[in-house]
Chain A
Amino acid sequence: MIRAEGPDSLLIIVPAFNEVGAVAEVVRAVNRSVPGVPVLVIDDCSLDDTIAEARGAGAEVLPLPHHLGLGGCVQAGYKLAFSLGFQYVIRVDGDGQHDAGDIPRILDRLKTSGCEMVIGSRFVEQSGSSTGAVRSLGIRFFRLVLRPILGKPVYDPTSGFVGVNRNALSVFSRSFPLEYPEIEALVVLQRRRFRFEEVPVKMLPRRTGRSSITARVSLYYIVHVLLGVFVNILKYDRRFHRPVKPPSGGGAD
Chain B
Amino acid sequence: MDRLLNVTTVLSVLLVLMVLFSVRRAHIRVEYSVSWLLTGTAMLLLSRCRPALEIITRWTGVPDTPLTLFLISGALFLVMFFRFSVIISHLRDDNVALAQRVAILEYHIHGLEHHEESGAL
Most A CB within 10 A of own CB, among B103, B110, B115: B103
Q: Judging by beta carbons under 8 Å apart, are B104 and A83 in contact? A: yes
Cβ contacts under 8 Å, B106 to chain A = 63, 65
8 Å CB contact of A242 from B90, B92, B100, B115: B90
Q: Which of A62, A245, A252 contacts B96 (CB 8 A)?
A: A252
Which of B90, B96, B98 gathers the greatest number of chain A CB atoms within 10 Å? Answer: B96
For chain A, residues 225 to 253, give those with C-beta under 8 angstroms from any C-beta of chain B: 242, 244-246, 248, 250-253
CB distance from B111 to the nearest CB of A (A): 3
DSSP majority for the B interface? helix
Digitize B91-121: 1 where CB-to-A-CB distance is under 8 Å, 0 elsewhere: 0111011111111101110110011000000
Whether A75 contacts B100 by the Cβ 8 Å rule is yes
A55-96, CB < 8 A from B:
62-66, 68, 72, 75-76, 79-80, 83
Once A64-B103, A79-B104, A83-B104 are accepted as A-B contacts, the answer to whether A1 and B97 lie under 8 Å apart by CB is no
Cβ contact within 8 Å between A244 and B99? no
Instruction: Report whether A72 and B99 are in contact in the complex, using a CB–CB cutoff of 8 Å.
Output: yes
Could you tell me how many residues of chain B have their Cβ less than 8 Å away from some Cβ of chain A?
20
Contacts of A65 in B (CB 8 A): 99, 102-103, 106
Contacts of B104 in A (CB 8 A): 62, 76, 79-80, 83, 246, 248
- Shortest distance in angstroms between A208's beta carbon and chain B's nearest beta carbon? 24
Residues of A within 8 A of B (CB-CB), count: 23
Across the interface, name the chain B residue whose C-beta is closest to A178: B96
Query: Please, how many angstroms separate the alpha-carbon atoms of A178 and B96 in the complex?
Result: 9
21 pairs, A vs B, C-beta closer than 8 Å: A1-B107, A1-B110, A1-B111, A62-B104, A64-B103, A65-B102, A66-B99, A68-B99, A76-B99, A79-B100, A80-B107, A244-B94, A244-B98, A244-B101, A246-B100, A248-B104, A250-B97, A251-B94, A252-B93, A252-B96, A252-B100
Chain A interfacial positions (CB closer than 8 Å to B): 1, 62-66, 68, 72, 75-76, 79-80, 83, 178, 242, 244-246, 248, 250-253
